């Protein structure tokens, strides 16, 4: 039982930084913006082709 509390107290004192999670979130954000930009560009291009 004491080992559980020792693990909890060490985790609270020194939280582990998950670097890969931050990189993954950044990459997903960039990919989302890229695909959104492509989708908007295609929509505008198709709209201009239909209108023109």
Which pLDDT tens digit goes with each residue over 1-41?
667 667 777 777 766 667 788 889 999 999 999 999 999 99
- Residue spans of the domains in the chain: they are 17-52
Give alpha helix (H) positions in 1-52. Answer: 2-13, 19-51
0.75 exceeded by pTM: no
13-24, pLDDT tens digit by residue?
Answer: 766 667 788 889
**Nearest residue to 41 (alpha-carbon basis) of 52, 49, 31, 51:** 49
């Amino acid at each position: 039982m004491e080992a559980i509390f020792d693990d909890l107290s060490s985790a609270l004192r020194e939280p582990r930084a998950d670097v890969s999670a931050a990189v993954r979130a950044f990459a997903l954000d960039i990919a989302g913006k890229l695909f959104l930009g492509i989708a908007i560009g295609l929509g505008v291009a198709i709209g201009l082709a239909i209108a023109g």
